[in-house]
């Protein structure tokens, strides 16, 4: 039995294998049990998503906020949600037409400065730019010149402490309206402290890049991110310390799991005191069922239960990385 399983109070593998989700079962066997004999199944969720894709590669966002905030590219929001699932969960890549079309739509939202923009209107959004770059690299676009342009943008827009902020959150605005979203982009004062939410999301682009993950830039941002474990963010968005333990898979917002996964790929180890503290929290907070609470408790009960199993898989995968 692997060391990481022995350290857990309860072995959750049997429960994961009985999920009824063929894709999850495949990943558990491959990633947790090192069983490479199985063929990855096709999931119907893939077909449902692809059937909703538009001819330009995007997905349509349907909400009443479209009329209220016309400066925001709402379809880019929906497209992020889709690539997060198709690439982040089902490991699809640019060999699939749906992904290559999606990628070209995302790249069409890239500005001359190199960033992918639109979810905050004309305002800078390095954190979402980092996420788009992460999923595009995972889809096979690492050597694309447009990825290099985005990486250079992210490097240029760091704070002095080595992390990132959402510039819009660094200034006092009484009420966000479409005029703000459509105005000239706010440039953050680089002397201000970084946001660990923004840093953790942006840094994932570096963690999946075969060259940039080895840079001092990535290392410095990683040092900053781990030093903030369980602390409140410096800015109001998702500020409470509790957001560290609100878990999603595939990763979206910065959490303890997404951060540990990212930091492992930046060559941080269990010998680091902050990493050790994060791993110890996971070990202590496994519940009696062998799973971990996601801290998301609204929605369909069956979907929430399956989500909890996917979270368990992602936590076990992180534990295996650090504990072998």
Q: How far is CA 97 from CA 56, 83, 205, 244, in A?
A: 12, 13, 23, 36
Q: Compute the average pLDDT of residues 213-229.
A: 98
Burial class (CB in 10 A: 0-12, 13-18, 19+), 129: buried
User: What's the pLDDT score for residue 144?
Assistant: 98
Query: Among 145, 153, 141, which Cα is nearest to 111's?
Result: 153
User: What's the pLDDT score for residue 66?
Assistant: 86
**pLDDT at 86 > cutoff 80:** yes
Which residues are 195's β-sheet partners? Answer: 164
User: What's the pLDDT score for residue 230?
Assistant: 98
Q: How far is CA 11 from CA 286, 290, 316, in A?
A: 10, 6, 10
Q: Which residues are CB-contacts of 177 (< 8 A; sequence separation ≥ 6)? A: 69
Do 147 and 141 contact (CB within 8 A), yes or no? yes
Least confident stretch, 1-10, 73-82, 191-200: 1-10
Q: State the chain's mean pLDDT as an integer.
A: 95
Task: Return the exposure string of 209-226: e unless at least 16 CB atoms fall within 10 Å of the residue's CB, then b.
Answer: beebbeeebbbebbbbbb
HSE on the CB side for 23, CA within 13 Å?
A: 16
**pLDDT at 324 > cutoff 90:** no
Q: Kindly indicate the confidence band of residue 200, based on its pLDDT and cuts at 50, 70 and 90.
A: very high
Phi then psi dihedrals of residue 196, to 5 deg:
-75, -25
pLDDT in tens, 271-302: 999 999 999 999 999 999 999 998 887 767 77
Q: Compute the average pLDDT of residues 185-210.
A: 97
Q: How many CB atoms within 10 Å of residue 205?
A: 27
Decide: pTM greater than 0.85. yes
Q: What is the DSSP letter of 32?
A: I
Distance of CA 125 to the CA centre of its chain: 14
User: What's the pLDDT score for residue 173?
Assistant: 85
Q: Could you give the CA distance from residue 324 to residue 320 in angstroms, rounded to a whole number?
A: 5
- The position carrying tokens 């999606």 is 102
Q: CATH classification of 50-282 is 1.50.10.20, yes or no?
A: yes
Q: Could you give the CA distance from residue 152 to residue 149 in angstroms, rounded to a whole number?
A: 5
pLDDT in tens, 236-254: 889 999 999 999 999 999 9
Q: Could you give the CA distance from residue 33 to residue 266 in angstroms, rounded to a whole number?
A: 24
Which residues are 110's β-sheet partners? Answer: 116
Domains of the chain, by residue range, sit at: 1-41+286-324, 50-282
Query: Among 158, 235, 244, which Cα is nearest to 195's?
Result: 235
Please list the helix, strand and coil fractions of the chain in percent, rounded to the nearest 5, in that order: 55, 0, 45
User: What's the pLDDT score for residue 193?
Assistant: 97
HSE on the CB side for 10, CA within 13 Å?
A: 14
**pLDDT at 207 > cutoff 80:** yes
Do 256 and 278 contact (CB within 8 A), yes or no? yes
User: What's the pLDDT score for residue 1?
Assistant: 56
Q: Compute the average pLDDT of residues 200-220.
A: 98
pLDDT in tens, 132-141: 999 999 999 9
């Amino acid at each position: 039995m692997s060391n990481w399983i022995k350290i857990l109070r309860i072995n959750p593998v049997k429960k994961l294998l009985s999920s009824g989700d063929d894709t999850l079962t495949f990943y558990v066997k491959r990633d947790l049990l090192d069983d490479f004999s199985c063929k990855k199944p096709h999931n119907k969720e893939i077909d449902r998503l692809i059937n909703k894709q538009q001819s330009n590669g995007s997905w349509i966002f349907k909400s009443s906020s479209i009329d209220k905030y016309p400066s925001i590219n709402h379809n880019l929001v929906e497209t992020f949600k889709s690539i997060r699932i198709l690439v982040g969960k089902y490991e699809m890549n640019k060999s699939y037409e749906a992904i290559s079309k999606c990628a070209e739509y995302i790249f069409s939202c890239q500005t001359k400065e190199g960033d992918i923009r639109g979810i905050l209107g004309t305002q800078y959004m390095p954190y979402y730019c980092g996420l788009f770059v992460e999923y595009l690299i995972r889809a096979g676009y690492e050597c694309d010149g447009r990825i290099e342009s985005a990486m250079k943008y992210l490097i240029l827009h760091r704070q002095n402490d080595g992390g990132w902020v959402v510039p819009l959150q660094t200034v006092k605005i009484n009420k966000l309206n479409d005029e703000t979203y459509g105005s000239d982009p706010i440039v953050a004062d680089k002397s201000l402290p970084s946001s660990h939410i923004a840093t953790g999301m942006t840094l994932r682009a570096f963690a999946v890049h075969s060259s940039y993950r080895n840079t001092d830039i990535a290392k410095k941002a990683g040092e900053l991110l781990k030093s903030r474990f369980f602390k409140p963010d410096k800015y109001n968005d998702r500020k409470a310390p509790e957001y560290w333990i609100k878990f999603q898979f595939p990763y979206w917002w910065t959490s303890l799991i997404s951060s540990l996964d990212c930091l492992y790929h930046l060559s941080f180890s269990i010998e680091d005191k902050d990493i050790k503290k994060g791993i110890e929290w996971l070990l202590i907070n496994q519940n009696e069922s062998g799973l971990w609470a996601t801290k998301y408790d609204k929605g369909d009960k069956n979907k929430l239960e399956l989500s909890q199993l996917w979270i368990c898989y992602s936590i076990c995968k992180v534990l295996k990385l650090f504990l072998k």
